[in-house]
């Protein structure tokens, strides 16, 4: 416990995680009424108006429960993307780190190449071009969105894991196992992986924060609307806006950003919620790194 | 060393050519799309043409060839939003040059401010007093944890609220960006990450160096703490700090597009994401509206060149300084 309190980022991240978990559980416990049906409104309600604590969105729906439910969905999508990235990067990185040679060079070159061009921006641009030329069906849109998020950070994560594994492979216990005739699989799973799992956990927490940032960036390029579908609403002074059907923080933020000078809350409140989740995982990664460093 | 540098730059040039060519081809894809009359249908008592979408590789390649010719001639003709189609097209190159300069200006201010602030905050890690260390840690964590879009949106919301409440505009949010006021919010948002990142790596490097024997000797000799940090510890932390430059450049340039898109800063990002959405048929046949695929392609190629050049330079600096890492004063 003393060690925990000497690690402020870990303490702050755990406290923030607790607050976020309680907030995400609220819509299942408290009755917020109907927050899914699109209402006909002249203008969204400001925070505190008519009993709406965070105001209403551009379609007149209660923003508080939508943001809380949106946090769940965004986190779920982020975790799914992270899982896919990890499933692909972990074996590749471990093998590249252990074997070295051409595989390690390919992984390292791909990571360097991916970091030498603004990959996410290229992906967002390609998505826009395709959607301007072709009418893509919903499953294809989902697939492109998920593939873009998974592939963008994959080479970097694989390279990071390869570097971690490479730093361990010359340790005496690995050499001893090798001289005792242990198989490659056994060395990787029993001798390499346990040594790097602490650093790996910290790297995965940081990676989740990066996935969520990438989701936020995709939302700025109007690409996250594929998650929940869109409908158009008419507002005062002839203004009209697209609103999301299923609450997802990126879509809520991205679709409302155009009207921020008139109604700031429908864009800023989801952005703050997404920022808090990102901050929580960044702090967690920092805290875990310190935790394992001190233990080592 | 020379071999490594050569490999680094050849790899980057090859990557630039491949990605650039791919983007140019993709951006001209809509140029090959056209509509054919497949038959006629009756809708509400009226007979109208039924159109089907088709793709012509000849049309597509002629668009690509036209772009090649325009690049060779150094001019990008386009019709402004209010100009007549019959009027001679304007040249987009002067506008492209202005946005290029604006992007460089924003990048220079924000990366410079962020790096200097970050290094100063990182130096606080080495101070033995608790309060500066905690302040440095908080600032670094905030800089790294807060995403760029949140900083911009929160800033815009604050400015709008302040404007309505007190009739004072904190910084330019919606109007003319060609002022210093219009630059404050983009610079704030873009400088946050470099600040946090530089503070973190400077702090980590100094933390390690402050435990070295020569620091203990300098303290034993009674040298002032500021001199120990600046003249002894900091000098040796420089190679480690420079090692973080490539990641810093990569993140900042990616962030630049987001910040430019969210604010009214007239840089390259606005041009890159003005992808043609109108198809070449009907009343607008033969025109792409305000921005043509050729203009977007040129903006993309310039931005990619920025990215590759700056990232390559940062990697070069890292490679050059790797040789002197760990040298005692």
Interface test with B, best of A17, A133, A211, A213 (most B CBs within 10 A): A133
- Report which listed range, A127-136, B168-177, B248-257, is most confident: B248-257
For A29-48, give the DSSP string.
HS-----SSPP--SSPPPTT
Judged against a pLDDT cut of 50, whether residue B277 lies above it is answered with no
Give tens-digit pLDDT for B32-41: 777 777 777 8
In three-state secondary structure terms, B40 is strand
Do B298 and B285 form a contact (C-beta atoms < 8 A)? Answer: no
Do A21 and A284 form a contact (C-beta atoms < 8 A)? Answer: no
Q: State the Cα–Cα distance between residues B144 and B193, nearest whole angstrom.
A: 5
Beta-bridge partners for A56? A62
CB-nearest partner of B258 from A126, A217, A278? A217
Q: Chain A partners of B156 at a C-beta cutoff of 8 Å?
A: 260-261, 264, 268
Provide mean pLDDT across the span B174-192: 77
At which residue do the structure tokens 């799309």 appear?
B33
Confidence of residue B85 (pLDDT cuts 50, 70, 90): low
Confidence of residue A64 (pLDDT cuts 50, 70, 90): very high
Note the pLDDT of residue B282. 39
Q: Chain A partners of B160 at a C-beta cutoff of 8 Å?
A: 260-261, 264
Q: Do B23 and A122 touch (CB under 8 A)?
A: yes
Confidence of residue A232 (pLDDT cuts 50, 70, 90): confident
Q: Chain A partners of B311 at a C-beta cutoff of 8 Å?
A: 115-116
Contacts with A, B 118-137, CB within 8 Å: 137
Judged against a pLDDT cut of 60, whether residue B174 lies above it is answered with no
In three-state secondary structure terms, B31 is helix
Note the pLDDT of residue B193. 87
Note the pLDDT of residue B84. 61
Radius of gyration of chain A (CA): 22
Produce one character per residue of A47-64: b if its CB has 16 or more CB atoms within 10 Å, e if not.
eeeeebebbbbbbbbbbb
Q: State the Cα–Cα distance between residues B46 and B242, nearest whole angstrom.
A: 71
Confidence of residue A86 (pLDDT cuts 50, 70, 90): very high
Chain A nearest-CA residue for B250: A115
Contacts with A, B 40-99, CB within 8 Å: none
Check CB contact of A275 with chain B, cutoff 8 Å. Answer: yes
Q: Do B154 and A271 touch (CB under 8 A)?
A: yes
CA A260 to chain centre: 24
CB-nearest partner of B157 from A209, A213, A260? A260
Do B54 and B33 form a contact (C-beta atoms < 8 A)? Answer: yes
Produce one character per residue of B177-211: b if its CB has 16 or more CB atoms within 10 Å, e if not.
beeeebbbbbbbbbbbbbbbbbbbbbbbbbeebbe
Q: How far is B53 from chain A (nearest CA, A)?
A: 9
Q: Chain B partners of A278 at a C-beta cutoff of 8 Å?
A: 145-147
Confidence of residue B275 (pLDDT cuts 50, 70, 90): low
B263: region left, alpha or beta (phi > 0 left; psi from -120 to 50 alpha):
beta
Check CB contact of A230 with chain B, cutoff 8 Å. Answer: no
ipTM: 0.82
Judged against a pLDDT cut of 70, whether residue B80 lies above it is answered with no
Mean pLDDT score of chain A? 83
Note the pLDDT of residue B16. 84
Q: Do A129 and B275 touch (CB under 8 A)?
A: yes
Note the pLDDT of residue B327. 36
């Amino acid at each position: 416990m003393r060690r925990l309190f000497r690690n402020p980022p870990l303490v702050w991240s755990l406290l923030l995680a607790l607050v976020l978990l309680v907030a995400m559980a609220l819509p299942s416990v408290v009755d917020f009424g109907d927050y899914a049906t699109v209402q006909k409104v002249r203008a969204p309600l400001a925070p505190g108006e008519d009993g709406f604590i965070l105001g209403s969105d551009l379609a007149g729906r209660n923003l508080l429960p939508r943001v809380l439910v949106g946090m769940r969905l965004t986190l779920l999508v982020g975790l799914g993307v992270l899982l896919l990235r990890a499933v692909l990067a972990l074996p590749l990185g471990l093998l590249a780190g252990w074997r070295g040679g051409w595989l390690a060079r390919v992984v390292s070159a791909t990571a360097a190449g991916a970091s030498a061009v603004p990959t996410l921006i290229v992906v967002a641009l390609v998505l826009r071009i395709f959607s301007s030329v072709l009418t893509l069906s919903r499953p294809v849109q989902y697939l492109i969105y998920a593939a873009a998020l998974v592939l963008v950070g994959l080479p970097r994560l694989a390279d990071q894991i390869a570097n971690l594994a490479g730093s361990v492979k010359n340790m005496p216990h690995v050499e001893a196992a090798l001289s005792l005739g242990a198989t490659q699989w056994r060395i990787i799973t029993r001798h390499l992986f346990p040594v790097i799992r602490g650093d790996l956990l910290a790297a995965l927490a940081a990676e989740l924060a990066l996935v969520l940032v990438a989701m936020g960036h995709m939302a700025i390029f109007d690409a996250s609307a594929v998650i929940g579908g869109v409908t158009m609403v008419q507002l005062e002074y002839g203004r009209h806006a697209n609103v999301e059907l299923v609450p997802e923080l990126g879509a809520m933020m991205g679709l409302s950003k155009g009207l921020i000078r008139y109604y700031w809350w429908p864009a800023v409140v989801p952005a703050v919620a997404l920022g808090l989740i990102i901050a929580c995982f960044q702090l967690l990664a920092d805290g875990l790194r310190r935790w394992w460093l001190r233990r080592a | 060393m020379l071999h490594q540098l050569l490999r680094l730059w050849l790899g980057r040039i090859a990557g630039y050519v491949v990605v650039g060519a791919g983007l140019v081809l993709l951006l001209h894809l809509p140029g090959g799309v056209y509509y054919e009359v497949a038959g006629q249908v009756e809708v509400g008592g009226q007979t109208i043409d039924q159109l089907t979408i088709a793709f012509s590789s000849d049309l597509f390649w002629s668009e690509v060839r036209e772009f090649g010719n325009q690049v060779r001639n150094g001019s990008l003709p386009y019709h402004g939003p209010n100009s007549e189609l019959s009027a001679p097209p304007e040249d987009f190159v002067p506008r492209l040059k202005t946005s290029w300069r604006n992007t460089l200006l924003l990048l220079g201010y924000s990366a410079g401010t962020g790096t200097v602030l970050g290094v100063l905050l990182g130096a606080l890690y080495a101070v033995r007093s608790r309060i500066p260390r905690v302040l440095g840690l908080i600032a670094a964590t905030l800089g790294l944890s807060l995403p760029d879009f949140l900083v911009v949106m929160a800033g815009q919301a604050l400015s709008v609220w302040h404007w309505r409440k007190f009739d004072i505009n904190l910084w330019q949010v919606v109007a003319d960006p060609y002022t210093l006021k219009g630059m404050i919010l983009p610079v704030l948002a873009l400088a946050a990450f470099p600040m946090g990142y530089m503070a973190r790596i400077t702090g980590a490097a100094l933390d390690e160096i402050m435990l070295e024997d020569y620091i203990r000797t300098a303290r034993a000799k009674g040298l002032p703490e500021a001199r120990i940090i600046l003249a002894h510890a900091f000098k040796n932390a420089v190679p480690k700090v420079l090692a973080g430059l490539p990641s810093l450049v990569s993140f900042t340039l990616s962030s630049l597009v987001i910040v430019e898109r969210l604010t009214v800063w007239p840089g390259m990002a606005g041009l890159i994401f003005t992808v043609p959405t109108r198809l070449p048929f009907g009343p607008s046949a033969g025109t792409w509206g305000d921005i043509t695929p050729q203009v977007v392609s040129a903006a993309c190629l310039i931005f990619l060149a920025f990215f590759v050049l700056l990232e390559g330079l940062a990697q070069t600096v890292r490679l050059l300084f790797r040789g002197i890492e760990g040298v005692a004063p």
